[in-house]
Structure formats: C-alpha cells, structure tokens
Amino acid sequence: MILLQITGRLGGAGAGILKAPAVKRKKYWVPVRCLRTLRAVRILSIESSCDESAAAVLDSDAGLLAHAVFSQIELHRLYGGVVPELASRDHVQRLLPLVREVLARAGTDRKDLHGVAYTAGPGLVGALLTGAALARSLAFAWDLPAVGVHHLEGHLLAPLLEPAPPPFPHLALLVSGGHTMLIEVRAIGAYRLLGQTRDDAAGEAFDKTAKLLGLPYPGGPALSQLAAEGRAGVFEFPRPMLDRPGLEFSFSGLKTAVLHAVRDHELTRELRADVARGVEEAIVDALCAKTLRALEQTGLETLTVSGGVGANRRLRDRLVRAVTARGGRVYFPRLEFCTDNAAMIAVAGLARLAAGQHEPLAIGARAQWALDSLPPVAA
C-alpha cells in the first residue's frame, strides 16, 4: 500500500522495481535480483543516528509490520545531554535484539526480506557507524541489497506512514534537535531548501532553555509540560528574524534572554512556569510566522510538520488553526513517529530500494549530509 502511495505520486516510477537499476550492476557487490523481479517489497530498517536505537519492518503491500525504539534518555540524563561515545556503545548492545524483536513481531524470516535500510547520516558518526555496520553485515550475510538513508529524508517522509498521507507537492517544516528547516517537497527525493536556522535548532533552543530552568534532558517535552501551567505575557522573549524578510530562523539569542530572566528573578515554581510559557510562545511564534510566509511565497497549500519538536502541542494547534484559516491542510506524523524511529527510515529506504538504488559493500556514515544532494527517487 505504501509503495502504491509512493509510486502513485511518482507517476509510475515504482515500475523501477521491475527494471534494472539506473546504475551499472557491476558497481554492486550485492545481487539485485529481487528488486528487478518482485512487486511486493519488504524491508528491515535500522536507525542509530543519535540517542535512539530503533528497528522496523515495512512491507509495500501490508504496511508497517513492526517497529521498536529503545531510547537512551536515562543513560544521558546524568550528563544533561547526549554523550556520543556512550551512545555508540549502547547502540552496539541494543540494535541486534531490536532487529530480532521486530522480525519476530512482524512474523518475518530473513528469507521474506528484500533489502535493508539504515540511517547513514547526518548524525553522530560513531552512533551512525554502529547501525551502518550492522545493517550492511546483515545484508551481506543474507545476500540482500542495502541502502543508506538520509535521516532528514526519513523525518520528511514520516507523514506517509499515516492512513491519510499528504499530497505532493507540499511544504515541510522539519523541526528536530539538530535542524530547523522549511523545505519544498516536490516528490520523494526532490527537495528544495527554502530556509533554515542560522544557529541553534528549535529543539536545541527547547533543550538549552529547559536546562537553564533546571529541567531534565531532553528539555523539549519537560519545558512544554511546565509551560502548560505558565501565564502568557509575563515573560516576553525575543523573536529574532521576524521583522526581516526571508525564511531563516535564529534561536541562539533565546538562551541568553532566558539566562538573564533566571539570574534576575527569584524563580518560584510559578515564575519558572511563566518563563517556560514565554520560551514556548517565542519558539512557536517564530516557527509559525516563517512557515506561513513560506506557504504564501510558494503558493503551496499543504504543510507537513515533522521531527521531534513536531510533537509540541502548542505548535501543532497553532499551525492547524493558521493553515486551516487560509484554506490549507496540515499533516503530522503520529507522536511516536515525530521523534527518531526506524519506521520513517524504512519509508525512505523502501522508496529508494524500489527505485533500484542501493550501495556497494563498504560501510560508511556521514556526520554532515546536504539534503538537496540526494539523487531523485524516480528510476
């Protein structure tokens, strides 16, 4: 079904699974038989770009058969942020049991699989390498093609996991711990970056200001919870870039402003909640204003919101109200697919494997990776 949704939008490019891949076969170490001969495609996917270990099984006909996430939050909480080396070591322990678990839950034997997808970047390079090494080793042992997926493409395609997926083209607001971007999504694999943050990402702003308020890592959900008790307008924090044209964001000034508020006031629980409310309002205001401006500029009517900050209730409500009022529609992944997961990696991986894309045997990962450098998906 998912493949149909994907291929339908690609104007029949899914026929790519019946064709030889666009690139010469001899470049590849893995056989591509299954991608050329099979209509239904079932893949295993692995995500390990930061502090979530995850695996999933996705079938082009039956949809998502299983997905599992192990969050390392407790491991990193003591340090107030992700410790890369600890993340890598924990992924090594968690990933294989997660793979076993999703295969069992999906009632899937390795013989039922047609490929393996994994997050190849951007992210913490050590963490990425653990998933890449496991995925490529499994693919080699099982004689399957493997494809390295761009983590942000995974986030962008997460809304396709929903029963009512967004039509193309659309505007995507991608708001995670590391990225804040407005992207025109013309089709799967056709992305145009319209604007992004100049400094901190929205998630980073939530996390850093939450830390200043003494809230536990990761700060986003904790700050948002505290903000629900706060009063609007008690603390007004800056909304940089709003008075300027363009679609860029800047959130680094927010933490300085919050630092001053925390230093200058004797903060009772009530006042801390007011600060949290002020922070959330400032971030949500900036995100909404630039998103609406992007819809205006591109003439697009459909918006998707993905990434961890897309789980924020105030942001979701504000965007739904504003976009609906101008006759558009907003699509969100369900909450569990906003934050890092392997189901979204499977969607991107399935589209690319189905289009005949996969890679040589060498294991690699990229800490930095420009989204608009991806090849198109149409075969």
Nearer to Zn ion, 82 or 295 (CB): 82
Sheet with 63-71, strands from edge to edge, namely 63-71, 52-59, 42-47, 115-121, 146-150
d(CA 321, CA 191): 26
Instruction: Classify 233 in phi/psi space as left (phi over 0), alpha (psi -120 to 50) or beta.
Output: left
d(CA 290, CA 282): 13
Nearer to Zn ion, 153 or 281 (CB): 153
Nearer to ligand KG4, 226 or 378 (CB): 226
Helices (H) then strands (E): counts for the chain: 12, 10
Q: Which of 118, 206, 235, 249 binds ligand KG4 (CB under 6 A)?
A: 206
Q: Which of 339, 344, 356, 359 binds ligand KG4 (CB under 6 A)?
A: 339
Q: Which two tokens stand for residue 247?
A: 């679609």
Helices (H), 38-124: 73-77, 84-105
Q: Which two tokens stand for residue 32?
A: 């591509």
By CB under 6 A, residue 220 contacts ligand KG4: yes
Residue 18 and residue 37 in contact, taking contact as beta carbons nearer than 8 Å: yes
Q: How far is the CB of 295 from ligand KG4 (least distance, A)?
A: 22
Q: Which two tokens stand for residue 334?
A: 């369900």
- Segment 290-319, which members bind ligand KG4 (CB under 6 A)? 307-309, 311-312
Q: Of 331, 349, 358, whose CA–CA distance to 57 is shortest?
A: 349
Nearer to Zn ion, 53 or 176 (CB): 176
Q: Which of 7, 176, 302, 312 binds Zn ion (CB under 5 A)?
A: 176
By CB under 6 A, residue 207 contacts ligand KG4: yes
Q: Which of 119, 224, 302, 304 binds ligand KG4 (CB under 6 A)?
A: 224
Q: For ligand KG4, which stretch binds (CB under 6 A), given 21-29, 63-71, 170-178, 325-333?
A: 170-178
By CB under 5 A, residue 340 contacts Zn ion: yes
Q: Which of ligand KG4, Zn ion, none does residue 304 bind (CB under 5 to 8 Å by kind)?
A: none
By CB under 6 A, residue 218 contacts ligand KG4: yes
Please name the amino acid found at residue 260. Answer: H
Residues that bind Zn ion (CB under 5 A): 176, 340
